[in-house]
C-alpha cells in the first residue's frame, strides 16, 4: 500500500463529491478548508486551527465556522440567480431572503447580511423571537423581510413596527383568520401593511418533507380561501397591499422535478390572480434548494439530482414562460434558501477517545483440563479455519455453539471462566472469518452484517443529539473525515459512538467512494497523538437544533477567517465558549450556587464528624465548584 496518495484519501471519503470545493487534502495529509474556491487564497489546515485552540486551552468538541465559506455561499446564490435572469431575458430582479431558522447565530446572520448587501438580500422570520432579531438589522431599502409561520397579534404588531421603521416587511398569511387581526392592527397603528398570501400547493414533494404540501399541509390557503381572502382584503380597503404570492413545499428537495412542478403551479396561479386585478409584484418560491450531503448526485434524501445553477435556471425559465404565455409582467423573484446557504460553513471537530470492541480484553484460550466439550468444539473450529473453506458454514457452526454455551451457562453446566473462554474463542473465530472475507469480491449479506458487527465502535467525545440531531432523527448522512494522516492509508474500519448514555447516539452510515457504507475507514489511533475527526456540513439546522440530552450543552465555537498575511493562512477572530455545566443545569431549574453550598454543607458535616480532613474537604468543595463552571463534555486527555 505504499502507492497510497492523497487523491486516494479524497476519493475514499468522497470529498470532491460532497464538499462543493470547500474542502480538500493537502500534500502533508492534513484536511484543508478551501474558503476561497476560486483559488486565490491559501487553504486552511483544520488541524492547525484545532492545535491553536488547544494551545489556548480550548476544550473539544468544538465548532469551527468558516466565515469566508458563508460569504461565498451568499454571493454564489445571488450571482447564480442574476446569471439565470440574464440568460433567460427575465424582466425582474431576484430578491432572496435568508430564513434565519436554519442558523440564527448572530455572527452567522451578521455575515449573511453583510455579504448580501450588494444584492439587496433580505431575511425571513418564522416566529416572534426570530422577527425581533431580524428587525435589528440595517438592511438595504429594497431588501425584504418575510414573515412566515402562524401569527398572533403581537407577531403582526412587530411586523408593522418594522414598516414604521421603513423596512419592507411582508406578512405572509398562512391561515384565513390571520387577515382580520392584521387589518385591525393596520387600522389601529395607521400603517399600510405589505401582504403575502401562501398557497396550499397541490404539488406534493416526495421524501422527508412531503407533508409540507398537498391537501393535508399545515400551512397555506387553498384557491377558494385565497379568493375569499382577496375579497375580504379588498372590501376593507387594503387591496393594494397584496403584493406577494408564496409557497414552500418542503426542505431538501432532492428531485428537481418537484421543484419544476411546484413553480409551474404557482406561476400559473400568480398570472391568473394578476389578471383578476390583484397587484402582485413578488413571487416567493420558498426554500427547498437541497445540499448534496452524500455526494451521490441522486434523488436520495441526503442528496440532490441537480445543481444550484440548474435550480435557478429552471425556476426563472418556467416563471418567464408562463408569465409570457399569460401576458403578465415577470414578478420579482424571491427564494428562501436556507440549507444551501449555511450548511457548508461549519463543522464539528471531535476527538476519538476510545475503542469499543468485542475482541477487547480476551482471556487465555488454551485448553483446560476437564473443560466442557462446547468450549473445546469452539477451539477446534478456530484451529480448523482455513482459506478455501465454506465461510458461511463455519460462521453458522460458531453461532450455534455460542448459543449452546449461553444455554449451558444458564442451566448451571458451565463455569464463568468457561463462558469467558468460549466468548473469546467465538470472537476470534468471527474476526478470522471476517479477515478472510476482506479479499472476497462478493460477500453474502449475512456475512457482510457479521463483518460490520465485528468492527470496533470508536468512542468520540461529542453528543449526536446536540451536534447532529438529524443523523438520529431522520437518518441524515453527514460526511466524517479524519483531520490528519490522510497521506497514510487507513488500516481500520469502524462505526462511531458518542458519549451520551443512549444507544442511539451513534453514527452507522458513512459516505464512501461509490455509495454510503456502514463503516468509516480510520487510522490506528496512537497512544500519544490525538486523533481528530471532523463532522461536516453541519451549518444548517444541526448547529442550532441540538438538544441537551444527558445535559451535554452547546459547543465551544471558533470563528475562523482567511488571512493571506498570516503564515498559517488564517486567524481566529472570535471564540465563543460553549455551555458550562451550571448553565445547562439552570435551564432545568437547578440553582448552581445552592447546589454548591449544599455539597459544602454535606462535606462540612463529615469534617465535623471527623471522617474527613478539613484540607481534603476544602479541596473537594473547590473541585465541585470548578466542575460547575466547566465544560459539559469530557475533558481532553492531557487536561
Closer of 338 and 534 to ligand PLP (Cβ): 338
- Total length of the chain: 639
The answer to whether residue 251 forms part of the interface with ligand PLP (CB under 6 A) is yes
Whether 434 and 320 have beta carbons less than 8 Å apart is answered as no
Residue whose entry in the numeric block shows the C-alpha cell 479479499: 439
C-alpha cell at 370: 476437564
From 260-268, 286-294, 440-448, 478-486, span contacting ligand PLP (CB under 6 A):
286-294
Least distance CB 345 / ligand PLP (angstroms) = 14
Cis peptide before 222 (omega within 30 of 0): no
Closer of 108 and 350 to ligand PLP (Cβ): 108
**Single residue of 73, 339, 372, 455 touching ligand PLP by CB under 6 A:** 339
Least distance CB 350 / ligand PLP (angstroms) = 25
Distance CA 395, CA 446 (A): 10
Closer of 259 and 425 to ligand PLP (Cβ): 259
**Single residue of 288, 331, 494, 530 touching ligand PLP by CB under 6 A:** 288
Least distance CB 568 / ligand PLP (angstroms) = 33
The answer to whether residue 338 forms part of the interface with ligand PLP (CB under 6 A) is yes
Which H or E run contains 501? none
From 220-228, 285-293, 366-374, 460-468, span contacting ligand PLP (CB under 6 A):
285-293
Whether 462 and 350 have beta carbons less than 8 Å apart is answered as yes
Whether 195 and 238 have beta carbons less than 8 Å apart is answered as yes
- The side-by-side arrangement of strands in the sheet containing 44-45 is 23-25, 31-33, 44-45
User: Apex CA 87: angle with CA 86 and CA 89, to 5°?
Assistant: 65
Whether 418 and 411 have beta carbons less than 8 Å apart is answered as no
Binding mask 134-163 for ligand PLP (x = CB under 6 A): --------------x---------------
Positions 361 through 400 that interact with ligand PLP (CB under 6 A):
none
User: Which residues are paired to 144 by β-bridges?
Assistant: 168
Distance CA 477, CA 482 (A): 16
The answer to whether residue 99 forms part of the interface with ligand PLP (CB under 6 A) is yes
Binding mask 231-250 for ligand PLP (x = CB under 6 A): -----------------x--
The answer to whether residue 303 forms part of the interface with ligand PLP (CB under 6 A) is no
Least distance CB 394 / ligand PLP (angstroms) = 50
State the number of binding residues for ligand PLP (CB under 6 A). Answer: 15
Closer of 257 and 397 to ligand PLP (Cβ): 257
Cis peptide before 473 (omega within 30 of 0): no
Whether 206 and 258 have beta carbons less than 8 Å apart is answered as yes
Closer of 315 and 603 to ligand PLP (Cβ): 315
Least distance CB 209 / ligand PLP (angstroms) = 8
Handedness of CA 537, 541, 543, 546 (dihedral sign): negative
The answer to whether residue 287 forms part of the interface with ligand PLP (CB under 6 A) is yes
Least distance CB 64 / ligand PLP (angstroms) = 21
Closer of 155 and 532 to ligand PLP (Cβ): 155
Strand 510-511 relative to strand 456-460, pairing:
unpaired
Q: By Cβ distance, which residue is nearest to ligand PLP?
A: 287
Least distance CB 200 / ligand PLP (angstroms) = 13
For residue 228, give Cα distances in angstroms to 99, 221, 224, 275: 29, 10, 6, 16
Whether 156 and 171 have beta carbons less than 8 Å apart is answered as yes
Least distance CB 258 / ligand PLP (angstroms) = 12
Least distance CB 127 / ligand PLP (angstroms) = 11
Shortest CA distance to 203 belongs to which of 285, 263, 286? 263
From 27-35, 95-103, 179-187, 548-556, span contacting ligand PLP (CB under 6 A):
95-103
**Single residue of 34, 102, 160, 323 touching ligand PLP by CB under 6 A:** 102
Least distance CB 476 / ligand PLP (angstroms) = 13
DSSP helix/strand/coil, 221: strand
Closer of 201 and 375 to ligand PLP (Cβ): 201
Would you tell me the crossing angle of helices 416-437 and 391-410 to the nearest 10 degrees?
A: 170
Positions 611 through 630 that interact with ligand PLP (CB under 6 A):
none
Distance CA 10, CA 24 (A): 7
**Single residue of 289, 429, 460, 486 touching ligand PLP by CB under 6 A:** 289
For 573, phi then psi, to 5°, come to -80, -35
Q: What is the binding site for ligand PLP (CB under 6 A)?
A: 99, 101-102, 148, 248, 251-252, 286-289, 336-339
Amino acid at each position: 500500500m505504499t502507492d497510497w496518495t492523497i487523491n486516494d484519501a479524497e476519493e475514499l471519503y468522497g470529498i470532491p463529491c460532497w464538499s462543493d470545493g470547500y474542502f480538500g487534502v493537502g500534500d502533508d495529509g492534513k484536511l484543508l478548508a478551501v474558503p476561497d474556491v476560486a483559488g486565490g487564497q491559501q487553504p486552511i489546515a483544520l488541524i492547525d486551527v484545532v492545535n491553536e485552540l488547544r494551545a489556548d486551552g480550548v476544550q473539544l468538541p468544538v465548532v469551527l465556522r468558516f466565515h469566508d465559506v458563508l460569504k461565498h455561499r451568499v454571493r454564489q446564490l445571488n450571482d447564480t440567480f442574476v446569471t439565470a435572469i440574464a440568460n433567460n431575458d427575465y424582466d425582474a430582479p431576484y430578491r432572496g431572503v435568508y430564513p434565519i431558522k436554519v442558523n440564527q447565530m448572530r455572527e452567522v446572520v451578521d455575515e449573511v447580511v453583510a455579504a448580501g448587501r450588494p444584492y439587496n438580500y433580505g431575511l425571513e422570520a418564522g416566529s416572534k423571537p426570530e422577527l425581533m432579531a431580524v428587525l435589528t438589522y440595517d438592511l438595504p431599502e429594497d431588501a425584504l423581510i418575510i414573515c412566515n409561520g402562524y401569527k398572533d397579534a403581537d407577531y403582526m404588531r412587530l411586523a408593522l413596527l418594522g414598516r414604521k421603521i421603513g423596512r419592507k416587511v411582508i406578512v405572509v398569511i398562512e391561515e384565513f383568520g390571520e387577515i382580520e387581526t392584521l387589518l385591525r392592527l393596520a387600522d389601529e397603528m395607521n400603517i399600510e401593511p405589505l401582504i403575502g398570501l401562501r398557497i396550499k400547493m397541490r404539488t406534493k414533494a416526495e421524501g422527508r418533507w412531503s407533508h409540507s404540501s398537498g391537501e393535508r399541509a399545515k400551512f397555506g390557503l387553498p384557491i377558494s380561501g385565497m379568493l375569499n381572502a382577496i375579497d375580504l382584503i379588498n372590501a376593507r380597503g387594503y387591496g393594494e397591499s397584496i403584493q406577494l404570492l408564496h409557497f414552500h413545499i418542503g426542505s431538501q428537495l432532492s428531485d428537481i422535478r418537484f421543484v419544476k412542478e411546484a413553480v409551474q403551479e404557482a406561476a400559473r396561479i400568480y398570472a391568473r390572480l394578476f389578471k383578476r386585478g390583484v397587484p402582485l409584484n413578488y413571487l416567493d418560491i420558498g426554500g427547498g434548494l437541497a445540499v448534496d450531503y452524500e455526494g451521490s448526485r441522486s434523488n436520495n434524501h441526503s442528496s440532490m439530482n441537480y445543481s444550484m445553477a440548474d435550480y435557478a435556471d429552471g425556476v426563472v425559465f418556467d416563471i418567464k414562460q408562463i408569465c409570457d404565455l399569460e401576458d403578465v409582467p415577470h414578478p420579482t423573484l424571491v427564494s428562501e434558501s436556507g440549507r444551501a446557504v449555511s450548511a457548508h460553513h461549519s463543522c464539528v471537530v471531535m476527538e476519538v477517545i476510545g475503542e469499543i470492541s468485542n475482541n477487547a480484553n480476551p482471556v487465555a484460550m488454551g485448553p483446560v483440563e476437564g473443560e466442557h466439550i462446547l468450549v473445546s468444539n469452539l477451539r477446534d473450529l478456530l484451529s480448523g479455519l482455513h482459506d478455501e473453506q465454506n465461510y458461511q458454514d463455519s460462521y453458522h457452526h460458531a453461532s450455534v455453539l455460542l448459543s449452546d454455551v449461553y444455554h449451558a451457562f444458564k442451566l448451571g453446566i458451565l463455569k464463568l471462566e468457561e463462558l469467558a473462554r468460549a466468548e473469546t474463542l467465538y470472537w476470534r473465530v468471527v474476526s478470522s472469518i471476517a479477515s478472510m472475507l476482506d479479499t472476497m469480491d462478493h460477500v453474502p449479506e449475512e456475512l457482510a452484517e457479521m463483518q460490520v458487527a465485528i468492527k470496533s465502535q470508536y468512542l468520540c467525545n461529542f453528543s449526536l443529539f446536540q451536534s447532529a440531531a438529524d443523523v438520529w432523527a431522520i437518518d441524515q448522512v453527514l460526511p466524517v473525515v479524519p483531520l490528519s494522516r490522510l497521506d497514510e492509508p487507513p488500516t481500520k474500519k469502524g462505526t462511531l459512538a458518542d458519549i451520551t448514555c443512549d444507544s442511539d447516539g451513534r453514527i452507522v452510515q458513512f459516505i464512501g467512494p461509490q455509495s454510503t457504507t456502514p463503516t468509516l475507514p480510520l487510522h490506528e489511533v496512537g497512544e500519544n497523538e490525538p486523533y481528530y475527526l471532523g463532522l461536516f456540513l453541519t451549518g444548517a439546522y444541526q448547529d442550532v437544533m441540538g438538544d441537551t440530552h444527558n445535559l451535554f450543552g452547546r459547543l465551544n465555537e471558533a470563528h475562523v477567517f482567511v488571512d493571506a498575511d498570516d503564515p498559517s493562512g488564517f486567524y481566529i477572530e472570535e471564540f465563543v465558549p460553549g455551555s458550562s455545566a451550571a448553565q445547562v443545569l439552570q435551564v432545568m431549574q437547578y440553582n448552581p450556587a445552592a447546589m454548591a453550598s449544599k455539597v459544602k454543607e454535606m462535606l462540612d458535616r463529615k469534617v465535623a464528624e471527623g471522617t474527613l480532613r478539613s484540607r481534603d474537604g476544602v479541596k473537594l468543595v473547590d473541585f465541585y465548584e470548578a466542575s460547575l463552571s466547566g465544560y459539559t463534555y469530557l475533558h481532553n486527555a492531557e487536561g
